[in-house]
Amino acid sequence: MQRRFGMRKGAELLALLVASSLCLSAAIAAQETCPADIDAKCGDAASDGWEGEFFPGITKIRYEGPTSKKPLSYKWYNAEEVILGKKMKDWLRFSVAFWHTFRGTGGDPFGAATKNWPWEDGTNSLAMAKRRMKAHFEFMEKLGVERWCFHDRDIAPDGKTLA
């Protein structure tokens, strides 16, 4: 790390990584999330028959270095690079917040929802929860993120009974 960044302090390195992550987020947001047709891919709400990818055309995002022209690539974050005896992914343990990424609607107390995922069918069914989880784990795999967090009510609908 010292050879690439000189004697930059940890805070400066973190700022670079955050900036490159924001650029990556903007590039992902600029692309279509999923052009799949919910009627053709999901079947009915009672079964989780979604087939194929939720984010088609987006391959696993890899480190390609600061000179990469590919918008969906890591420029500064190299998960496998060893820094002071630990891999970069062990220093910066990123996670996906399930609520904010897959459950929240993008609304706030003063406005309506601003996002809607194509695989959502409007139900609060178990099949919908399973479909949402499949999309979530595909997203994590493509980003190369190993951790996630959630609220208990995010991942499953209320049942009629505790069982």
Which residue has 């178990």 as its token pair? 126
Does this model's pTM top 0.85?
A: no
Residue 50, token pair as written in the block:
């979604």
Query: Could you tell me if 81 and 29 are in contact, meaning their C-beta atoms sit under 8 angstroms apart?
Result: no
What pLDDT does residue 9 have? 44
Query: How many Cβ atoms from other residues are within 10 Å of residue 36's Cβ?
Result: 19
Query: Is residue 136 assigned to a domain?
Result: yes
Domain assignment of residue 22, given as a range: 2-155
Query: Is residue 147 assigned to a domain?
Result: yes
Query: Is residue 146 assigned to a domain?
Result: yes
What pLDDT does residue 3 have? 46
Query: Is residue 163 assigned to a domain?
Result: no
Query: Is residue 162 assigned to a domain?
Result: no
Among candidate residues 7, 29, 19, 8, the one with its CA nearest the CA of residue 66? 19
Write the burial class of residue 52 (CB in 10 Å: 0-12 exposed, 13-18 middle, 19+ buried). exposed
- What are the residue numbers of the active site? 151
Query: Is residue 161 assigned to a domain?
Result: no
Query: Is residue 134 assigned to a domain?
Result: yes
pLDDT tens string 62-119:
999 999 999 999 999 999 999 999 999 999 999 999 988 888 888 888 888 888 888 8
Total tally of structural domains belonging to the chain: 1
